[in-house]
Amino acid sequence: MNIKKTVLLPLITAGLLAAAPGVMAAKFKMALGDAAGGTQWELGQTFKTLFEKKAAGKHTVDLFPNGQLGDEQNTVNNAALGTLDFSVLAINNVTPFSPTVGVLTLPYVIQSAEDAKKLTQGPLGKELTENTIRDAGVRIVGWAYSGFRVLTNSKKPVTTVADLKGMVIRVPKNEIMIATYQAWGINPTPMAWSETFTALQQGVVDGQDNPYITVSAMKFNEVQKYITNVRYLFSLEPLIVSESVFQDQKPEVQKAILEAGMEATEHSYKYLLETEDKIKKDLAAKGMQISDAADGEKEFIEKATKAVWPKFYESIGGKAKLDQALKSLGR
């Protein structure tokens, strides 16, 4: 008897079965950039509950918060390769892989939670989902609505563009967000999300921007003192699934993923409306000083839209794409 062949054949057979389409592990992994307690976690947990119910116990989802499976941009790469199943991440970390999604991150395009819902769940949102499949190898199956990214810092109250002078502000590695701060007169510091808390704690950077719920979930009140209510960017956090993983599933599992994603999205929208004011009051009670931008944010708006919008017309698919978004919002 050929002992090598006897041993190897079962191993080869097992490997082929593991790689065969439709033969998938019953347990999916979902990466989350944020800590437990934020909108990413809320979306992920809701999706998990809904999906597992729809899958009748045949599939489960394990959540890995706080960047345990890598920084947010790495999770897009891993999902594209099929080595990660799901990820919930900030929209600005999808944009480098699928630039047309950038229309949702242009400063001051989205001016309310209702605007965010209309764009993501309307025709434009469906188009952008198709683009991410084509460009990045991932499919958007849900959205977390996290609110406007407010500016926090450890130095002083900021109410005007001039107040930003001399400050070191962390931003994601996103060209649109970098260009927005440059339009306001400073060069921000691009930095991975996983490094941000430590950088704030050690004074490597003075501030950052994120929604109230993220500021709370990440305990930024421990390293930041001041908040400015700027509304330049509404934080959208898509739930993506690896397109190769999705296509490997049976039709009924694909259906369960899509339905759970839609239902979790609706839950996320309601969750934002119900919790943001409570979180704002809680952060104030913990000692954070909250200010509004002067003059209804007029100077911030004028500088950002004038300098940033034209710079990114080409990457988002042309000025007509921005016009389409604005028209759908009645502007």
Rounded Cα gap, residues 10 and 18, in angstroms: 12
pLDDT in the model for residue 13: 39
Whether the Cβ atoms of residue 328 and residue 119 lie closer than 8 Å to each other = yes
Question: What pairing do the DSSP bridges indicate for beta strands 27-32 and 86-88?
Answer: parallel
pTM for this predicted structure:
0.86
pLDDT in the model for residue 242: 98
pLDDT, tens only, 2-35:
444 344 444 443 444 344 444 454 899 999 998 8
Instruction: Give the domain 27-329 fold.
Output: D-Maltodextrin-Binding Protein; domain 2 (3.40.190)
Given a cut of 80, is residue 69 above it in pLDDT?
yes
pLDDT in the model for residue 19: 40
Rounded Cα gap, residues 101 and 143, in angstroms: 13
Nearest to 62 by CA among 35, 83, 80, 44: 44
Whether the Cβ atoms of residue 48 and residue 63 lie closer than 8 Å to each other = yes
Provide the mean pLDDT of the chain. 92
Count of positions (residues) in the chain: 331
- Report residue 228: phi and psi, to 5°: -120, 130
The mean pLDDT of 186-202, rounded to a whole number, is: 96
Domain boundaries, the chain: 27-329
Rounded Cα gap, residues 185 and 82, in angstroms: 41
Whether the Cβ atoms of residue 257 and residue 249 lie closer than 8 Å to each other = yes
pLDDT in the model for residue 57: 85
